[in-house]
Structure 1
Amino acid sequence: MDRRAFLRLGAGTPALAGLSGLGLGLPAMAAAPAPDAAPAGLGWRTYEIVTEVALPAQAAPASVWLPATGGKLGDYQRTLATRWEAPAGQARAALAPGYDVRMVVVGWPEATDGPLRATLTQVVALRDRAVDLGQAPSPAVPRESAAVLREYLRPTRLLPLDGIVRDTALQVTAGAGDDVAKARALYQWVVDHTCRDASVRGCGTGDVAAMLRTGGIMNGKCADINALFVALSRAVGIPARDAYGVRVDLSQHGFKALGKDGDISKAQHCRAEFYTAGYGWVPVDPADVRKVALEEAPGGLPMDHAKVRAARALLFGAWEMNWVAYNHGHDVALPGSGAPPVPFLMYPNGHTVAGTLDSVDPDAFGYRIRSRRLA
């Protein structure tokens, strides 16, 4: 029997919509809000993101955890609708404890006559974001709550804030004045002392202390490089967080390496941001500076190349929103898995009768993610 569900995420409602009234036997998460409309104003673009999973029939009992896009994020992202279909499966919306990490969990308790299939479709509106750090901080900028700021100042399993992390952060920011100056010093240091490593699987793991202990240029991918910025910022008292998501379109800023459309199964990308009063959350992305240096042209580009310098300037204070955010979560416990928490939820996760599926290998796992821009 097909189990189908459709939910919408209200503009001001962080919880997922309730489904019990649809007669599907799925657990209610919250009272269903009114359907959210596409936001008005210039610069918004709307995308459909479809995740499809197909596992062999003999894989059951099996479960998959599919990341869902964040709801209303600042003035740059609105999730307009989410729907799923899981023939012969049992599907539900779920939240991981802490961080508002949203997902759809699909389970197949027994083998079926054909493949185990599930489809998650999300419609998201996006627009570019930028913070003008050349202007004086404004008291009109809404302040983040003290509880949220405390959350993004604490250590995590892979982001310790003592020892080599704190010592490094203090050295890098010595002599810097306010938090913006400190964050800028950390950003420049991370760009200068890291290197994107194409051999790292997926987006890396974000083990910050291990990176610093290398004693030289620190190799990694976005979840390593941007986590380093986040941990160093927190270590000197600046609230900071990773943003885990996926690229959904080509870059309109002329960076071939910083965009992907169509099949985005391997286009996951982690970004970062820090908070300071009078500016709010400030977007940064040192990892993409290193991606431009490595991948923008065959053989790579030197760090003093005009295109690398342009990316370096742009990505302290701005994000091109050809990318959608899932969540800010660390050490994410997958509901019902019984397994240890994963470092972050940016890829589909799965477990079958044969064991844990390889999240960063779409073909071996059996998933495909596609995006398209809607008119």
Structure 2
Amino acid sequence: MSRPLSRPMPHRTHDLNRRRLLQSGLALGASATLPGLALAQERRFEPRPGAWRRFELVTTVTVPEVKGTTRLWLPLPDVASDYQRPLDHVWGGNATRARIAADPLRGVRMLYAEFAPEAGTPSLTLTSQLETRSRATDWSARNAPAEDAALLRAALAPTELLPLDGIVRETALTATRGAKTDLDKVRGIYDWVVASAHREPKTRGCGSGDIKAMLESGNLGGKCADLNAIFVGLCRAVGVPARDVYGLRLAPSAFGYKELGGNSASLKGAQHCRAEAWLAGHGWVAMDPADVLKVMRQETPEWIRDPRHPVVAPVARGLFGGWEGNWAAWNTAHDIRLPGSSARSTLPFLMYPIGENAEGRFDELSPDSFRYTIAARELAA
């Protein structure tokens, strides 16, 4: 069928040095002033709002065995904003029933499909069209409209994996010591995450986002759903509304950073969580310390440990207030209950295709055994 629908352990000396550099306001300064880096060529990363880009995004799921009733939930690129316009969703396959559904409390929309055993091998294809563009904050302007009070309250609330008391609150106060404004707080937290955390390539998927466990263990290694969750939790803990934005890389970066883009033909593993903070006068402001840490760890063969390095500095500047528009936003929700699911537990977030049958929930971080593919192509605007 188809339907359209318009606590912390001691850090090594170099980590302490990195943190002192950041907290002294040197992190994003000119790399040419650094000993040993003067001869290096600084790269460019300057996303700016411009023309809209149109993409077609196709997710295909095949469940190899029939074991009772099979249920699938696919995220939709459903965020409507000044950087994304959802256009259309069409689906097909042999589902007994399929519809756009929503988590009853969070309101997150998704494609839900159910397959009776007699339907045979479950197969589902979701095709979405959307438009995206880059973001960059004009810090000289303060003309953003006021936000809905309920949305701001939600962006200040704890979640199951983002508590706002105890070590989270203590860490947030440390990161924002001396801050006078919300912008100062956000800058202090962004710099603290870049200085104190690191990208851990061995983390499965995008991580779990359990920030209390990370802070208590002192192991601040993870991936985007861990690292940006730390940013969001620390912001909320000092009274700055913030939220994770879960999504998917769609295309290569226009600035030549291999770690900041996706292979459009095969987006398996291209899921990426970003973040936003709400600042009066500026509205929702783009943030992505996790991608700064990804560039530091993976963009070059050597792990770059100084954010003022000429490869990293442009990204560290650009991702404080900006994003590149080669990425689609699914949703901004935590603690999701899947409509129709037999599981009692919630999902920390919805960023991957999810499935279950009579034997339980599938491993969404193993797309080869789950057998799902995601691809995108850019269309003429």
TM range (shorter): 0.7 to 0.9
1:184 aligns with 2:187: yes
Task: Check the 8 A contact 2:194/2:289 in 1, yes or no.
Answer: yes
Shift of 1:60: 3.7
Superposed CA deviations along residues 127-148 of structure 1, whole A, max 9, x for unmatched, are 0011122x1x52x311101111
Task: Check the 8 A contact 1:57/1:111 in 2, yes or no.
Answer: no
Shift of 1:70: 1.5
Structure 2: runs of 5+ lacking an equivalent: 7-48
1:13-52 map, 5 Å:
42-52=50-60
1:311 aligns with 2:315: yes
Distance 1:265 1:47 in 2: 17
Letter of the aligned partner of 2:4 in structure 1? F
Distance 1:330 1:349 in 2: 15
Identify which of structures 1 and 2 has the higher relative contact order when contacts are C-alpha pairs closer than 8 Å and 6+ apart: 2
1:92 aligns with 2:90: no
Figure out how many residues of one structure are paired with residues of the other and give that number. Answer: 335
1:284 aligns with 2:287: yes
Partner of 2:243: 241
1:251 aligns with 2:221: no
Q: Match for 1:323 among 327, 333, 353?
A: 327
Q: TM-score, normalised by structure 1?
A: 0.87
1:110 aligns with 2:108: no
> What SS class does the counterpart of residue 217 from structure 2 fall into?
coil
Shift of 1:168: 0.9
Superposed CA deviations along residues 299-354 of structure 1, whole A, max 9, x for unmatched, are 33342421111111111000101110000010000001031111000000000223
Task: Check the 8 A contact 2:206/2:225 in 1, yes or no.
Answer: yes
1:127 aligns with 2:133: yes
Task: Check the 8 A contact 2:152/2:241 in 1, yes or no.
Answer: yes
Q: TM-score, normalised by structure 2?
A: 0.85
Task: Check the 8 A contact 2:61/2:372 in 1, yes or no.
Answer: yes
Distance 2:67 2:292 in 1: 41
Partner of 1:65: 73
> What SS class does the counterpart of residue 59 from structure 1 fall into?
coil
Distance 2:226 2:164 in 1: 15
Distance 1:118 1:331 in 2: 25
Partner of 1:210: 213
Q: Greater CA deviation, 304-313 or 266-275?
A: 304-313
Q: Match for 1:160 among 150, 158, 163?
A: 163
Q: Greater CA deviation, 99-108 or 276-285?
A: 99-108
1:83 aligns with 2:90: yes
Task: Check the 8 A contact 2:207/2:223 in 1, yes or no.
Answer: yes
> What SS class does the counterpart of residue 168 from structure 1 fall into?
helix
Distance 2:265 2:304 in 1: 26
Q: Match for 2:276 among 273, 284, 288?
A: 273
Distance 1:183 1:224 in 2: 17
> What SS class does the counterpart of residue 311 from structure 2 fall into?
helix
**Where does structure 1 differ by over 3 angstroms across 4 or more consecutive aligned residues?**
none
Shift of 1:152: 0.5
> What SS class does the counterpart of residue 312 from structure 2 fall into?
helix
Superposed CA deviations along residues 346-370 of structure 1, whole A, max 9, x for unmatched, are 0000002232111011111111111
Task: Check the 8 A contact 2:94/2:119 in 1, yes or no.
Answer: no
State the superposition RMSD in angstroms: 1.4
1:55 aligns with 2:63: yes
Letter of the aligned partner of 1:357 in structure 2? F
> What SS class does the counterpart of residue 369 from structure 1 fall into?
strand
Distance 1:64 1:184 in 2: 40
Distance 1:198 1:72 in 2: 31
